[in-house]
């Protein structure tokens, strides 16, 4: 049966590319994915697979009941875009100004719909059930996973799998990890209220740029000098905004960044240290400040048995050069909440385009090797079938 299903995926490839490129042209932001959700619903109507709309928000969930008894496997794909202007010079460039699929969610959606189409065709041979979870709002915390779970998408589910088309990884590789796989992803904002003035008379000011620069340096020492090197943690500043004229010292500066951890105690330690350092720096420069720390998604922890199942499944897929266990990634994913509720695993499907410069995820030039959708689909199909074999 596996060989037949693989042939079906291969035969659908041109259709998959067309669908992915259509979705790429019409991205929608997190929590606003109305038309994308309607598109997904139309596909399930065409497939004659029962579905629920507006699950936990804009989510869509379809269920395929096999003709034979067995366990229920849930497969998840996300479908929201990002607030990024698409700068690629391609025919399928985003037509929605300032919105782009810069993280392959168009490919995830296409892959899952292809899996659904193929499994529907062989429904009479299928054991158990497959739940197709199309999740909205992965990109913006609190995300779409938690409300969808609250609405019951994992009820009666035995196992849950998901994949990310990953351009940091060469095409032909499939990667996962037993246990910690992706980190908790938090966001923080620091606003320094100084005292502005003339750039030529700095002694009459409380320069928030100098203070902010000192603060950036001090915060980096939390990781380098306060955390046990055996532990894994990241503190990165991604934004520093202050002023709008070359000769004027501004009143305020705003710093934004992220903290990534796997250990809840380490996470809290970093929060406490940041609070202490920010307060101390503000006191030493006699300025006011505001510190906001927002916890994001929790760590994504794979169940080791199912990480092994993914490796075994991928190893049988044509086009896979290597299926391997890797070190955890410090990126974040709200798939974490699914595997907190049910056994399962998440994995990377290598999708890097081999043409010199490879734009990273969330980049205006982002794109991926569309052949990776076939590998992702075949791996998900094989992992699903193996649950009932």
| Residue 362 is assigned to a ligand binding site | yes
| Residue 101 is assigned to a ligand binding site | no
CA distances from 298 to 142, 181, 183, 232, 335 (A): 11, 11, 7, 14, 9
The alpha carbon of 207 is separated from its chain's Cα centroid by a whole number of angstroms, namely: 38
Residues in the chain: 389
Burial of 327 (0-12, 13-18, 19+ CB in 10 A): exposed
Residue 151 is a catalytic residue = no
C-alpha closest to that of 373 among 350, 356, 347: 350
Q: How far apart are CA 232 and CA 299, in angstroms?
A: 12
| Residue 203 is assigned to a ligand binding site | no
Residue with tokens 């010199």: 356
Tell me the DSSP string of 129-140.
EEEEEEE---SS
Catalytic residue among 78, 138, 334, 370: 138
| Residue 231 is assigned to a ligand binding site | no
Half-sphere exposure of 134 (CA within 13 A, CB side): 34
| Residue 370 is assigned to a ligand binding site | no
Bridge partner residues of 300 (DSSP) = 182
Catalytic residue among 80, 186, 273, 370: 80
Q: Give the three-class secondary structure for 360.
A: coil
Residue 80 is a catalytic residue = yes
Q: How far apart are CA 300 and CA 316, in angstroms?
A: 25
- Which residue ranges make up the annotated binding site for Mn(2+)? 103, 105, 139, 164, 362
Point out the residues that are catalytic: 80, 138
- Which residue ranges make up the annotated binding site? 103, 105, 139, 164, 362
């Amino acid at each position: 049966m596996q060989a037949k299903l693989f042939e079906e995926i291969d035969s659908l490839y041109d259709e998959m590319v067309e669908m992915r490129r259509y979705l790429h042209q019409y991205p929608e932001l997190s929590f606003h994915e109305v038309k994308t959700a309607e598109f997904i619903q139309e596909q399930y109507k065409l497939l004659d697979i029962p579905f629920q709309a507006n699950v936990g928000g804009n989510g869509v969930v379809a269920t395929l009941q096999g003709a034979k008894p067995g366990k229920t496997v849930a497969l998840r794909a996300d479908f929201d875009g990002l607030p990024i202007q698409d700068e690629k010079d391609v025919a399928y460039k985003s037509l929605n100004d300032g919105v782009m699929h810069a993280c392959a969610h168009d490919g995830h959606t296409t892959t899952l719909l292809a899996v659904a189409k193929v499994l529907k065709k062989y429904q009479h041979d299928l054991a158990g059930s497959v739940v197709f979870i199309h999740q909205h709002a992965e990109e913006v915390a609190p995300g779409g996973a938690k409300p969808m779970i609250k609405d019951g998408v994992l009820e009666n589910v035995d196992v849950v799998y998901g994949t990310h088309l990953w351009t940091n990884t060469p095409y032909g590789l499939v990667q996962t990890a037993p246990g910690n796989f992706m980190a908790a992803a938090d966001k923080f904002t620091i606003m320094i209220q100084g005292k502005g003035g003339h750039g030529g008379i700095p002694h009459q000011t409380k320069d928030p740029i100098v203070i902010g620069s000192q603060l950036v340096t001090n915060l980096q020492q939390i990781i380098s000098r306060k955390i046990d090197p055996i532990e894994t943690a990241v503190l990165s500043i991604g934004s520093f905004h202050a002023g709008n004229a070359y000769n004027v010292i501004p009143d305020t500066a705003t710093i934004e960044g992220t903290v990534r951890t796997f250990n809840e105690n380490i996470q809290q330690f970093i929060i406490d240290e940041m609070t202490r350092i920010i307060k101390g720096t503000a006191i030493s420069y006699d300025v006011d400040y505001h510190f906001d720390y927002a916890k994001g998604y929790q760590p994504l922890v794979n169940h080791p048995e199912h990480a092994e199942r993914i490796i075994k499944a991928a190893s049988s897929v044509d086009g896979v050069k290597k299926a391997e266990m890797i070190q955890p990634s410090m990126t974040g994913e709200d798939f974490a909440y699914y595997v907190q509720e049910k056994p399962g695993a998440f994995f990377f499907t290598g999708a890097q385009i081999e043409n010199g410069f490879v734009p990273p995820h969330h980049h205006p030039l982002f794109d991926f090797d569309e052949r990776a959708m076939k590998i992702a689909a075949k791996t998900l199909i094989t992992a699903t079938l193996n649950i009932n074999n």
